[in-house]
Each structure stands twice: as structure tokens, then as C-alpha cells.
Structure 1
Amino acid sequence: MMKKIKGTPLRFPISPIFLIVFFALLPWPSQAQVTDSSADPFDSAPLFTYFKYEGKDEVYQKNPLKANEFYTPILQGCYPDPSITRKGDDYYLVNSSFAFFPGVPIFHSKDLVNWKQIGYVLDRPSQLKVTNAGMSEGIYAPDISYNPHNETFYMITTQFAGGIGNMVVKTKDPLKGWSDPIKLNFDGIDPALFFDDNGKAYVVHNDAPEKGKEQYNGHRVIKIWDYDLERDQIIPGSDKVIVDGGVDISKKPIWIEGPHLYKRNGRYYLMCAEGGTGDQHSEVVFVSDNPKGPFEPAPKNPILSQRHLPKDRKNKVDWAGHADLVEGPDGKYYGVFLGVRPNEANRVNTGRETFILPVDWSGVFPVFEGGLEPMPVKLKMPSGVVNKTGKNGFLPNGNFAFIDDFKGKTLDMRWIGVRGPRENFVQTGKEGLRITPLETNINEIKPTSALFYRQQHKDFSATVRMTYQPMSEKHLAGITCLQKETFHYVFGITKKGQQHYLVLQRTRNGQSELIAQERIDISKPIELQVSAQGDRYQFSYAFDGKNFKNLGGAVSGDILSTDVAGGFTGALIGLYATKANDISPKSD
């Protein structure tokens, strides 16, 4: 932090050379600390000194774990499109990140139960070009794989931003960072790499049918290419369609996508999602004696889906699909996949989460155990595994509290920005967290000065302590509950004339409405809180940390739901500051 220097005037002659050396050695603030060179960068920067998120879901209260059990989902909140790979006894898992920055969170485990986040695959602007990307643009469906022939990890994905398209990055060690992107010369989405026993490599991906051959809306194909490991590029002319439409094109299946290729007992297995990412989502599998086909579907597809089950089932998990398989530490196969847990209003505020199920591969085809039945809340742990979730750096599971006083040298990895690096507007230290406001607001498709934590429960509370003095009506700081740039709540402090106001604004489809306001005294820190019970959200504040006062009554969480706002992300809880405030309190 930049500090003002106090002291008595100097009363002895100073040479020009001394002055040059003296000022050159002063600790100047970094670019990440300064956003307005004409003023002290912290004049309008809120100070956040405490954050607590607490999950309170009934399903976990009523289903406590036994010693040999663990909860699924294993990653709660917006962690969709999981992909997993293994090197020895180390497992690595990645997820889609869209316009979040940094991108593609990466997790490590030794046992598929206890997971630690070890960083992000795309953690710098040279890798992630999402500055002008909508919330559900950016990074789609990353695939992580390990090639034992050259001892290299690969992450291949589609980046809908920056003119990149399909791309690959690689590393010898996921803990030591990843290369800059290599743009790949093919269209379509959802690419995945496969490394055969003989050292050959292939890419499979979703694509459109040949021009003029599309039979219906949602008709897609799966293609395969030979992949040149020396050049990190597909081999021109080697492409072939290996699945047309899906399991049975006569039934007009839609959106065959998310392909993964495996080899077992000398045969090649192609597993794909089918049915779109909503309530018709499923996972299907094919087999061939050659990686380029022909592929035959399993006689009993899908091998994973919840679409055929009663809509009113208890503890409903829906939209299951987009899976990846791995052999577990006990020699048994497991599959990670996405699913959603709707609230009582059938809203999807926590977004697509990462689930896991054991897979029975005792026959010709893999089958998710219980994958066609109502999804269980908890599972039996692999033999010999001890549940350590929430301890010693392992991510928590079930109902839990996340507390941050922001006094560490680095941010917790669970905090994310949108469209730009967090370092451009945040600084942590002994005082807490400073957010230097940018001249953009939450409605814009631009980098915003907001730090986000995922909503991970249907029932939760999130409380932050903030000290803030807005300099003008263009300044605002507080919290936001965000689904995307056109669907969100803002709950914060701003100024009108000489008075300070706490305001609550709701934005739906880009149309904003001031729900409530209250004139307040900002001479001391304030605690802002958002809490939810399913679809019922409340925004409250307190000056003593105990007696919270609601502002605006109960409001609907509908605008924070994927099925209402559209797109692919879940709701985010943000610590927010702006110098482009557009919320104007009404005159008292």
C-alpha cells in the first residue's frame, strides 16, 4: 500500500544527485495498486476486513456422514464440465471457467475423495483473452490428459474469446505453470486428446455436419484427427466423422458433444454427452476395434442420465452428463460428471457442479453405478481411504463455513475475477483487502473491480465487513449477487449530495429497479449480508455485527438461476467497487 510520509522539513543542503538516488530508491506502488494517477488510489477504495460464507442445506443436516462415506458433488457450486486424468497415484481434475479470471481451476487428489486446488491452468493474460467476453463465453469444456510417452500433461479446450477458438497448453508439472496457448486448426468445440499405446495421438471433438447435410436443429457429429505431437497440431486431411448425430440418428438426437476416447482390453471406447446440457442431458458410449471407427453404440444407452425420473423426487439432481472416466486407487473405475441441484422453485442458482460415481466395467461397456437412478447424497469411500475434506488444506464438502480476513500475502484460490486479473484491482495486507474501483460497473462486458466467491448451497449466508467513504455519486461499494452482466443484485453504499445511502438494486435482462434505500452513517464499519433459503434471498446490514436489519424484504433468486438468465454459469457472490455507479438514490 502507498503511504504518506510525515516528518519535519529538511534543513540542510541536498545535492541533485542525492535527490535522484533518494527518490529512485523509494518503494513506488505497482501498476496493480494504482488505477488513477491523479489521486491517491485508496481515496475511494473500500476496505474489506472479514468475509464469512456459511452453507446451511437441509440435505446435509439430515444425511450426516458415516466414517466410510463422502458426499457427492465433490465440488459444490459452479464447477461444470469436469475432466480428469491420472499420473501414477496423482489425480488431476479441471473445470470450465467461461469469462472467469484466472481460468480453468485445477485440483489434485490421491484418492478421488480428498481434493486440493493447486491453482489455475490459465492464470495470465497471454493465455486468457476474455476482456470483452460475455459471462458464458470464454473457456468451454477443458480436457486434461497425461501422455506417458513424453511425460507431458495437456489441457485442450475451446476459448470463445480473443479470436482463439480451439487451443492447447501443456506442462511437465501442473504445479509449475502451463505454456501459452497453441491455436489449433479445426472448428467445432469440446476437443479431447487421446494417446494410444503405440505413442500415436488423436483429437476428438464436436462439430457441425458437412454443409448441406444437417438433418435437424441440434444435429452434430463427432470427428477425430491424427495429432502431431512434435508440432502440437492436427494433421491436415486426417479428419473423419466417427459419430453422426448420436446413438440413433433416426430418433434425431441433439448435441452429441464432450467426447472422450479410452482404450481397454485392446478396444477403443468413445464416451459422449447427448441431449443438450439441460434436463435431457445424458452420457452415451460406443466401441470400436480402431480409434477411427467404425464405432458401435452400446446396446443399453444412456449409461448415465436423470431425465426419465419423476420430477418431484427427493433431493433431486438433474441435468447429469458430460462425464470423464478414470481408474481409481482401488483398481475400480470412477466417473466425474456435471449435474445440478435445483431448489424448491426448481431454480438452478448453484449452477452445474462436479459429481462422482463408481463405474462398473466388468462387462464390455462401462456403466455408471446408480447413474440411471435418483442420485445419492453420499457414497462409500474407496477401500483404505480416509475422509479428510475440510482439513489440512483439503476442500470442504457438505455444509461448511469459509472465513477470510484477507491478511495473507496471496488471495485464497477460491476467489475469482471476471474478464481480467484480480491483481489489477486488489491488494491484501495487514489491514485487510482493498479493492481499487475501476471505471466500469457490473452491467458492462468489461473487466470489473469485483472479487467473487461461488454460491455453493441452496441455503446460505455470506457476510462481509467493510469500511468505505464514497467520494461522489459515481462511487459505490458493497456486495453483488451475480449471474451475468444483465442479471444480478447490487447491495452497496453510495452518495447523493452530502448524504450516504445503502441501496439495493435488482437487474433482470438488463432492466434495473431500485428496490430499497436507506440513509446511513458511514463513520464506522458496516457489515453487509446476503442470505438465502432456496429461492428466497434477503439483504441485511448491521453496525454492531449482531443486530442485522433487512433492507427491501425478501426478494426472488430467480434472476440468479441458469434456467432464467440463460448461459452456463452459477450464481456468484461478489465484493464489489466501482467508479461508474449508475444506481441513484431517490430524494428523501
Structure 2
Amino acid sequence: MRTYGNPVIPGFHPDPSVCRVGDDYYLVCSSFEYFPGIPLFHSRDLVHWRQIGNVLDRPGQLALPDDVPASGGVYAPTIRHHDGIFHVVTTAVGAGGTFLVTAERPEGPWSDPVWIDLPGIDPDLAWDENGDCWCAMAGVTAARIDPRTGEVLEGPLPTWSGTGLRDPEAPHLYRVGDWWYLLIAEGGTALGHGISAARARSPRGPWEPAPGNPLLSHRGTGLPVQCTGHGDLVRAADGGWWMVLLGTRPRGYFPEFHVLGRETFLVPVEWADGWPRLGPVRERHPAPAAWAPVQPPPARDDFTGTELAPHWISPRRRPAGCWSLTERPGWLTLAATGDSTDLPGHTFVGRRQQHHDCRAAVLLDAGPSARAGLSVRLDEAHHYDLEVAGGAASVIARIGPVRQCVASHPVPAGPVTLAVDIRATRNPPPLSGPDAIAFSVETSEGLVRPATLDGRYLASEVAGGFTGRVLGMYVTEGRAAFDWFSYESVG
């Protein structure tokens, strides 16, 4: 029997939403404070996903100011296809509220935002048999809107807010047969997370809760996948049903730590007695009928293109003057826009850490007046940096209010290879973190390994928030060039 492995999109890819158009599937995730916003993926089998762009890829669509905190920004998008048009609706927390963008093709271009005056987060879109568009919001409420203008035509109306657990959110409305189904998450997005459902004959209700609620929750279990919730249903081309949802893979000794953020998982769905049924999220499940192997993306970027690949992200914004692929052809040149990785506004270009055991490396030419390096970032207050400046390579740890230079080693002038090797802790003893983060520096004079740090301090259980680690290049003084960046799983 063919099986697939979970998560289907590893690393910091939470709050997944999916739609099918013919034989093609399209999926979006939350991006929070990062730009470009809302990564967009394509698949032909629901298992193998390739990022084809970002929905919010222009400053005119998404302008996050410096006072948007880490884990603020773009929350829980929903993607739907209706009357030949793709729609994505989302909320920019701290930057304007709920808005809708559209495109004729998933690759874009996507429109400028159409703002919707509805309170809450986690917006959803569904169309009824009359062609009316309904927008459900966390809380849970639903309103009839005009998707072309954002005008609220009716509501918001109270719907069904779950079984009484905290934080009813992530509503999705579906018309299946003669019933409308409302899927929500409740219990909080941490270990109490779960998915529940209700149904009605109309989006206006009244709502009948599913007798088996929650339909899915891993709370109180010892399963390797935890925090399961925030799901979205999709019907496959062969008539089968599936759900994408978020979960975490904690590591280390109690209380355990998840460092990759909330990831995207896939589970099969069956219908019985008029209700969706789904079991626990396993690390392996029987594969969908359309399953087909695909070639993984290259592990190294040599910066030979004219645009950055869509997986490269930056905190809040990426001004045109802070990066260039043409100033030094074949290199990514970064210019400082802020003087500290501890504060918003600095120049940073990174990619999500997607594996517990991995290696990232760069070839950096910093020059005599630059301060630049390789960072393992969770937010401005929680990151480890391997920094080159003033003839030395230093490992700097920022943990909450504390910033410390852990180790420093002289390096000669000229290009230097910086690397970070991350390994999950095996059979951890008491008080052990989830992984070890080891830094190395290679120059013409040889290889040195200045420091290895405990990874628990770059985990949500310590730092808080909704994101995961991002590995990236930064400059906080002058200009520096990066010849290549490599990332690979070593598990």
C-alpha cells in the first residue's frame, strides 16, 4: 500500500486553507509579520506541494509598520474559487483589519485589497445557491457581503460557537448536499486544540452540533503530533474527502518544545450518518489515489535569477533599496536598514526551518565596514546570530532581555562560509532541550566551531507567539554580499 508522510508542508506553515479547481489543488497559510505575505502552494495529489508564489507580494497590498509585533500581521487566510475567480480573504492584525483579494490565475497578479468592515479574525468565504457570498468570522459570526466592494449586506449574525471551550475560531462554511456545515477550531491553538462541527439548512442557522464533537483532537494523548486543529475540507477529483489542518511536532524533555512552528498536515475524511468522520493525525497515512512522486526543490540558491524565489521572506517589509541581485551578478547584496537584529527595521532575508535535523550555510563577503551574518530567528527577542564584523566571527545569543556574545574567533579578510547545524535531541535526559544548534566558520585558514547552543530558547514555549524558526542572512551595518545559501535535511 502506498503511504504518504505527514506533515505534507513542514515548517512554519500554519492555518492551511485549500481549494480544488479541476485536478489542481491550491493551498495558502498564515504569514504573520513576514513579507511577502500568504505563501501559495500548488499540488496535483494533496501530498506533494510546490510554492508557486505569495498572494501579497507588493507593498501596496501589504504594508506592515514596525509597530506590528512579532506574531502580528496576516492571520488565517481562506482560499476559494468561484465563477472562474480565485478569492483569498484574510485579516491583517494591527494593519487595517479584514480584506479580500482576487486573481484570475493563482500565480497572480492578485488585486489590491478590498476591505470588509467585520470584527474578528479568521475570515471564510462561501456562496449559497442564490449566488450570495457569506463571510464567517472567528467568534463565531456570519455575514452576507458583496465581495466586489466589501460591503456588508446582512449581519453579522451569531452562528454556533462550539462546545464551550475557549477561542472558537477558524470557521469554514460548506454546502454538502442539502446541509450547510460549519467547521470550527476550539480549545485554543496550543495543546487543547481541536476541531468541531455543526450543521444547518441555511447559513443563517439554526445550527445542530455534531454528536461526536470534537471531530478531532489530540489533547491529553501521547501522539507525536500535537495541537491539531484549524482544518479545512476539500473534495478530491475522485469524490473522496480530505482535510488539511495544522499541528506541531514537539521534541525534548517535559514540557517539550516545538521549534518549527505549526505545520500543515493532511488526513482522510469519511462521511457517516450525515457527518464528517476523521481519526487521529498519523505520521503516515494511505496515500490519495492521485499520489505521484515529485522531484524536491534544489537545496541551494546561487542567486542567479532576476527575482528572489518565493520562499524567501523578510520581517514586515523588504524595501527595494535593501537588496539586489544585479549589483554583483550571481550574488545577493544586502544593505543595512537598521543597526540591530534585536529591533524591527533591520535587513533580513530568510527561509523557514522545515526539518528537525538540518544544515544551512552561506558564503558571505562582508567587507571591512560591514556587519552581517547568518541568523536562526524566532523573533527580535529570540534569535542566535553568527556575525562577521571587525575581523572576527562571533556567536551572539539574544534570549528575552539578555543579549550575549557567546564566542568569537578572528577571521581573515575575504569570503567566509558560515554554517549552522541543527540536530534534534535523542533520548533526552532531564532538563534537556529539543535540539542543539551548532555554528561553524570556514575560511582559507581552516574550520572552527565556536559554539553550540540549546535550542529550547528559540521555541514558542519560551518565546510565545504563533510562528516558527526562520534561517536567514542579515546586514546591520554597511553592505554585504552572499554568493549562495544552502539548506538541506540531514535526517
Deviation, structure 1 residue 94: 0.3
Cα deviations by residue, 1:503-522 (Å, 9 ceiling, x for unpaired): 11111113201111112212
Which residue number in structure 1 is paired with residue 80 of structure 2? 145
Deviation, structure 1 residue 89: 2.1
Query: Does 2:397 match 1:485?
Result: no
Deviation, structure 1 residue 544: 5.0
Which residue number in structure 1 is paired with residue 257 of structure 2? 347
Which of residues 121, 127, 143 is equivalent to 2:61? Answer: 127
Query: Does 2:361 match 1:444?
Result: no
Query: Does 2:160 match 1:243?
Result: yes
TM-score after normalising by structure 2: 0.90
**Contact 1:333/1:360 (<8 A) preserved:** yes
Query: Does 2:353 match 1:468?
Result: no
Change (3 A) 1:422 1:355: farther
Q: What does 1:495-506 correspond to in 2, within 5 Å?
A: 495=390, 500-506=391-397
Secondary structure class of the residue paired with 2:462: helix
Which residue number in structure 1 is paired with residue 18 of structure 2? 84
**Contact 2:118/2:156 (<8 A) preserved:** no
Which residue number in structure 1 is paired with residue 440 of structure 2? 540
Task: Return the alpha-carbon distance in structure 2 between the equivalents of residues 158 and 389 of structure 1.
Answer: 34
**Contact 1:92/1:108 (<8 A) preserved:** yes
Deviation, structure 1 residue 243: 1.7
Structure with more strand by fraction: 2
**Contact 2:98/2:116 (<8 A) preserved:** yes
Change (3 A) 1:432 1:200: same
Q: What is the CA RMSD across the aligned residues, in angstroms? A: 1.9
Deviation, structure 1 residue 304: 1.4
Query: Does 2:118 match 1:186?
Result: yes
Which residue number in structure 2 is paired with residue 157 of structure 1? 90
Query: Does 2:196 match 1:304?
Result: no
Query: Does 2:401 match 1:513?
Result: no
Deviation, structure 1 residue 419: 1.2
Task: Return the alpha-carbon distance in structure 1 between the equivalents of residues 248 and 241 of structure 2.
Answer: 23
Q: What does 1:201-240 correspond to in 2, within 5 Å?
A: 201-206=133-138, 221-235=139-153, 238-240=155-157
Q: What does 1:339-418 correspond to in 2, within 5 Å?
A: 339-345=247-253, 346-368=256-278, 370-371=279-280, 375-390=281-296, 402-418=299-315
Which residue number in structure 1 is paired with residue 486 of structure 2? none
Task: Return the alpha-carbon distance in structure 2 between the equivalents of residues 160 and 135 of structure 1.
Answer: 11
Which residue number in structure 2 is paired with residue 257 of structure 1? 169
**Contact 1:157/1:191 (<8 A) preserved:** yes
Q: Which structure is larger by alpha-carbon Rg, 1 or 2?
A: 1
Deviation, structure 1 residue 158: 0.8
- Number of positions where the alignment pairs a residue of Structure 1 with one of Structure 2: 464
Task: Return the alpha-carbon distance in structure 1 between the equivalents of residues 318 and 411 of structure 2.
Answer: 33
Task: Return the alpha-carbon distance in structure 1 between the equivalents of residues 324 and 147 of structure 2.
Answer: 41
Change (3 A) 1:104 1:466: same
Question: What is the one-letter code of the residue matched to 1:481?
Answer: V
TM-score after normalising by structure 1: 0.76
Which residue number in structure 1 is paired with residue 49 of structure 2? 115
Identical positions, percent: 33
Question: What is the one-letter code of the residue matched to 2:287?
Answer: M
Task: Return the alpha-carbon distance in structure 1 between the equivalents of residues 52 and 357 of structure 2.
Answer: 28
Divergent runs of 4+, >3 A: none
Secondary structure class of the residue paired with 1:319: strand
Deviation, structure 1 residue 329: 2.4
Query: Does 2:367 match 1:432?
Result: no
Query: Does 2:464 match 1:566?
Result: yes
Task: Return the alpha-carbon distance in structure 1 between the equivalents of residues 136 and 148 of structure 2.
Answer: 18
Secondary structure class of the residue paired with 2:123: strand
Higher relative contact order (CA 8 A, sep 6+): 1
**Contact 2:397/2:404 (<8 A) preserved:** yes
Task: Return the alpha-carbon distance in structure 2 between the equivalents of residues 101 and 152 of structure 1.
Answer: 24
Task: Return the alpha-carbon distance in structure 2 between the equivalents of residues 344 and 330 of structure 1.
Answer: 41
Task: Return the alpha-carbon distance in structure 1 between the equivalents of residues 289 and 148 of structure 2.
Answer: 40
Once the two structures are overlaid, the 10-residue window that deviates more, 318-327 or 432-441, is: 432-441
Which residue number in structure 2 is paired with residue 95 of structure 1? 29
Secondary structure class of the residue paired with 2:160: strand
